[in-house]
């Protein structure tokens, strides 16, 4: 039996690459580290059964028209807003993702951003590295207390709940808003309180964003909602960049409507709003939410399993669309 033909748009951890080498006829872009160009992607899908792609790869009508024999688009991510899922279904292509395996890792990143922003760790690091530190001072780089503060979760899925458990270790008061409210028994067991979004924001010392990106959530955190937050509040976003109106966020930080922001995602990444780098009250990470070797390997293994299952006529572990 012939091996399925698979195109991988960018290098994944070694264990994942080895499996693909053994279990598929693997096609790769010329520069595996930089990733596939648009031209390489469109050419490759004319030749393969399966595509393993990243959030940065736009999978649209042009791709589906070119890939008439394509069976599966396996996204190396939890989110899949880079893929036109409705068009995939129309063309009979299964779309899959990699949920669950990056929950803990991304929750760790959310707390890392929260702590680094609140305690001004990056500013302190810069002060020491530049040789400008003159010794301890009672008013030097005073930050915001985390222990006992109120945190609000915008969206309350797996990653938000994992972040909440970490916040609880700091004795934080945990509020949440979600489009679907939990049962009262679940709220009691998690020790969280549901609050409508526009009532939640003014109460919180920290706001952590965890909603998926869709038409309803684009710019959910907009100018008006930023203005409603505490002047000392810190916004954390490890979800999707476009959930926050980035231009409005820069305005909010410049005007002092909020106290700071810790960001791992951006509206037009890798481009970011030109006003962000100059703002000392921000911590800006380059989409590191799942960036540990262990998690990225697990994601790759799941992406490969999804892809190969469909190519073999089997049910994949994580289908996004039902065909």
List C-alpha distances in Å: 36 to 28, 157, 173, 318.
Answer: 8, 32, 45, 24
Q: Which of 158, 223, 287, 312 is catalytic?
A: 287
How is residue 211 written in tokens? 């909603």
Active site residue 287: yes
Active-site pick, 40, 123, 269, 301: 269
Could you give the CA distance from residue 52 to residue 70 in angstroms, rounded to a whole number?
11
Active site residue 61: no
Catalytic one of 240, 267, 273, 296: 240
Q: How far apart are CA 19 and CA 290, in angstroms?
A: 21
Spatial CA neighbour of 260 closest among 56, 137, 119: 119
Q: So which residues are the catalytic ones?
A: 240, 269, 287
């Amino acid at each position: 039996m012939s091996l399925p033909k698979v195109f991988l748009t960018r290098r994944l951890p070694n264990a994942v690459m080895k499996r693909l080498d053994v279990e598929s006829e693997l096609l790769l872009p010329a520069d595996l580290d930089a990733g596939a160009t648009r031209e390489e992607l469109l050419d490759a899908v004319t030749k393969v059964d399966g595509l393993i792609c990243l959030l940065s790869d736009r999978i649209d009508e042009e791709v589906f028209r070119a890939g008439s024999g394509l069976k599966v688009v396996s996204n190396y991510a939890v989110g899949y807003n880079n893929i036109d899922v409705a068009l995939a279904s129309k063309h009979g292509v299964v779309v899959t993702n990699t949920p669950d395996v990056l929950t803990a890792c991304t929750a760790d990143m959310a707390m890392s951003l929260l702590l680094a922003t609140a305690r001004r760790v990056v500013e302190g690091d810069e002060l020491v590295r530049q040789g400008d530190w003159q010794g301890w001072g009672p008013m030097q780089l005073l930050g915001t207390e985390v222990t006992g503060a109120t945190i609000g979760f915008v969206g309350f899925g797996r990653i938000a709940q994992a972040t909440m458990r970490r916040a609880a270790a700091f004795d934080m008061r945990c509020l949440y808003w979600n489009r679907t409210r939990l049962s009262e028994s679940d709220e009691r067991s998690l020790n969280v309180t549901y609050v409508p979004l526009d009532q939640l924001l003014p109460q919180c010392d920290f706001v952590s964003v965890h909603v998926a990106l869709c038409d309803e959530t684009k710019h959910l955190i907009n100018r008006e909602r930023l203005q409603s937050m505490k002047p000392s509040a810190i916004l954390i976003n490890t979800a999707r960049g476009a959930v926050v109106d980035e231009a409005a966020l820069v305005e909010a930080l410049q005007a002092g409507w909020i106290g700071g922001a810790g960001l791992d995602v951006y509206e037009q990444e890798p481009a970011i709003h030109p006003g962000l780098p100059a703002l000392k009250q921000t911590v800006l990470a380059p989409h590191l939410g799942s960036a540990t070797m262990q998690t990225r390997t697990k994601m790759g293994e799941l992406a490969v399993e999804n892809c190969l299952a469909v190519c073999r006529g089997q049910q994949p572990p994580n289908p996004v669309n039902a065909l």
